[in-house]
Structures are given as structure tokens and as C-alpha cells.
């Protein structure tokens, strides 16, 4: 398994790398376009702001590279938001591979960022959610979110319901941190490693 974690220069790469290594796969952390294109799996992590992350990806000349990937791609936290069309966090155009918009989380008076453990709800029959059981717990840290729509494959509520996981073809996103979500997160990452061509054909 050739798995690449994209080095966006604005992410905690160590925890993601360790989580993948615990599953028996040694990932490569790189910003090299050729290595990313040749990978069997690609993870796009992110910490910080959408504007800074998109600026980094543009400077690295990775925006067209990521958009054209055909293998399974998983965006984590900010990385998920970067897969959408646009983010209110800096009013910035994103990668546009999942038709959605990232808005400030309307948390009905609850403190932001949304930080802590919440359950995944309304999970669909999807490659990433296989075997998770009922209302699995995951760890979130974010102030911006995607509204539920037809690309949503799991939801969470924090003052308002938002998309906890999204998917369009071979592009998958998790608003939470699977690498910090215990057994649930480990299962999601394992599912990602086991995705087949048939899983990404629709």
C-alpha cells in the first residue's frame, strides 16, 4: 500500500502518520506532485485557516494535481473543508471536488470552536462507515462546517446539525479527527485503506 499524506505546511502530520502506521502501513509525507499522483491512497490533513492552506497549496502548485486525482482521497478536518467549493473562513475558493460550501458553524450560543467528543448520526451505507455501529463517538475541533446535503454520509449536532462526513466519487471528507477518535477513528482509517475501485465508481 502506497499511501501519501500531503504536506500542506499547515497540519499536524505526526498524529495522522502514527495512526496510519498503527494499521500496518508506512505512509509517505510529501508535497511532491509526482509522488502524490502515483499513490494508492492520499490523505489531505489540515490545521489553521482555509485561506492559508489554499495559499500553501497554490504555492506548491498542488491545486490542479489534487483536483485530478482518481484514487481514494480523504480530507481530515480543514482538509475536508478544502475539498468543498468555497470557505467563509477567509472568503476563499477551495478545491471544488465536492459541491458544497463551508460556513461558520451556527452553534446556537454554544462556545466555538466546537471542541470535544460527539456522535456520528445518520451514517449512510458507505465504504468509510462500514462496521461503525450505532452512534459512534469522534473527536472534533472546528468553528466552520458544511451544511448537510446529498453529499453528506454522516451528521453531527452541536447547536445545529452539520455534515460530519462528506463524499463525492473518490473524494471523502471527515470533519472530525479520526487519528484522535480511538477505535472509531481507527476503523474509519482502516476502511479507507480497504476501499476498492468499485467503491469509488459511483
Provide the annotated active-site residues: 77, 177, 179
β pairing state of 137-142 and 41-44: unpaired
Distance CA 31, CA 185 (A): 25
Would you list the DSSP string of 75-110?
A: EETHHHHHTSSEETTTTEE---SS--EEEE---TT-
Distance CA 181, CA 189 (A): 10
CA 175 to chain centre: 6
**Helix, strand and coil in the chain, % to nearest 5:** 30, 30, 45
Amino acid at each position: 500500500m502506497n499511501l501519501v499524506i500531503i504536506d500542506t505546511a499547515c497540519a499536524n502530520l505526526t498524529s495522522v502518520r502514527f495512526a496510519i502506521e498503527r494499521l500496518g502501513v508506512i505512509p509517505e509525507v510529501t508535497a511532491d506532485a509526482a509522488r502524490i499522483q502515483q499513490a494508492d491512497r492520499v490523505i489531505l490533513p489540515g490545521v489553521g485557516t482555509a485561506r492559508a492552506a489554499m495559499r500553501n497549496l497554490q504555492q506548491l502548485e498542488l491545486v490542479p494535481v489534487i483536483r485530478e486525482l482518481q484514487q481514494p482521497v480523504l480530507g481530515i478536518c480543514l482538509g475536508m473543508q478544502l475539498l468543498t467549493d468555497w470557505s467563509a473562513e477567509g472568503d476563499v475558493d477551495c478545491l471544488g471536488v465536492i459541491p458544497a460550501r463551508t460556513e461558520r458553524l451556527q452553534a446556537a450560543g454554544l462556545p466555538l470552536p466546537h471542541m470535544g467528543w460527539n456522535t456520528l448520526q445518520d451514517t449512510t451505507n458507505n465504504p468509510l462507515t462500514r462496521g461503525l455501529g450505532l452512534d459512534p463517538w469522534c473527536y472534533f475541533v472546528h468553528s466552520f462546517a458544511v451544511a448537510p446535503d446529498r453529499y453528506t454520509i454522516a451528521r453531527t449536532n452541536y447547536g445545529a446539525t452539520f455534515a460530519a462526513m462528506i463524499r463525492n466519487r473518490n473524494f471523502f471528507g471527515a470533519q472530525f479527527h479520526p487519528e484522535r477518535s480511538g477505535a472509531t477513528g481507527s476503523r474509519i482509517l482502516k476502511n479507507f485503506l480497504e476501499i476498492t475501485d468499485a467503491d469509488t465508481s459511483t
